[in-house]
Structure 1
């Protein structure tokens, strides 16, 4: 499923700076008219970790409010410490950073800050991940986490016009028992959730570890999704398990699927949507003679791609417009492809069909006006 066009795009992507070393502004070299098109485009976002939107400035503010010390002199020093080279080194920084989140107000402030940034970039609908196991083990009650985020969601919809829903993620490299305990603690608040998912380190923690968790979530009316990270051990087996055995409703990342025509065909038959984050997981390398650009490869394979920002606070504070602007150059995206990616996003929403039609109507109205 990897075409010559895909390979050429991959070579161009490989020549770019690594994800943590970008210096130029995202819009550099992009047609100004296309920049304006992206800024005005109504968007959705499905692959964003709320704890990954915790900017350094807010960490300092929350630490002061909660009487915590931080091992950094200032914001610049903290940001300079965001030095990672793979998933494991990233996760160490990510989990350490969320320790300042202790009270319901902290989670409200975190979620509202993300929703305000997203709304300013014309995101009109988002489904956000959160990692309650990491908070529960620090003694933070599930109620404080969920209700703080829920307050922010309500306020942002009223004040900013951005609609949102919440996805509880299981930290897959923690025990299955702790994940089930987190689900059980969350189920009394299930009216504030739309689904469950998997995140964190995939190596040694395949999707089937969470089959019982997914079954219980579904029995309680929740959707299911799963991270299938790029170039992980057994990644194609994990994608197959997620698609065929667990029958997830979406896949997060999942770019290695282009290496299996059979799995691509299954995904198409299932009308599967993929939440792709090119900033962090934009290039396939493992087992290939040449690197391959994920977005370009998936689009060329006819898969339904959506694009998200993942953990923007740790990725040069690049939110959705920045990510799309980079993807224009990195993945050679046309205006028509950007419009289709936006359409895929609204079609992928875990919403009633009537609500999805309203979101799509806003997109169609914009496209007709430009």
Structure 2
């Protein structure tokens, strides 16, 4: 039988999705599963976006431009201007989700064997994108004790080699929920300018910031125009994960022209989805105000419930809708599988994301999980109560 590629065998499985078969089996047994494992919001998609597709009168569903429709990119530029990010339509390439934007960025600025420095824990698929692109992730560890704040800038500088091409951050962070401050962004900006690197910021959770704190984009930083690449997406902003529309944004014309060649090779982003996303940009601010209020309530409920469990350590998220939790166990992968295979309480269980998959350093994060607080507060209370009982039983069995 022919062999699969080395790249294929090195491609990591999703730590979020690999437990799905166990969850499906639990459901077949009649067990109700509370999904704390995946960032699929239950917030309603703006009606204006849904109506734009329903009421569309297209006779031919044709290709769009490779860089995305001009009308959508112009409206995106206006959206960014409201967020103090001064770009125009020519600085934007529309992609099939933020995932494709990141792949285009990697392909445009790095060759096989090059390195990208990423604070970990980080979005698990960064590992997969790096394998697919033939590049190496160089992690710099942030700690739950520091709430996953940016590690000291000296730790980044120690890791820079001739192969280093970029630093990648997610702001606010998935899986940590950490929001980088303006001061932290400026430290990174100084570093990439000093060493002539790119700074890539995954800013898909820009709207989800709490406690009166403001999001500071890398493209708000003057003098960083040639170094900055933003990865963005509508998935979480408008609860439109299935639209699969994102974008790459940069003032660096060489980056945009190179990324466009990758965009041309895959022809175009989805036409209907762009119509929906263009309409979504007219969503009233009240939509976001209500969403933020809802998520702050969910976060506060989650933290309160988790802090009542003995031996649990919780990071306090300032953005996105994720929380990193350290459990008094040895292996969260085994625990997460056991929750679905062998445990239920009143015919209910919970599904969590083991955190080891959000690290690239072996052996780190083995006793941590990521919780997505995308359930209503009353369901979060029930889910964490079940988690508490499960932990007690699991630890008792282990001893």
TM-score, with normalisation over the residues of structure 2?
Answer: 0.27
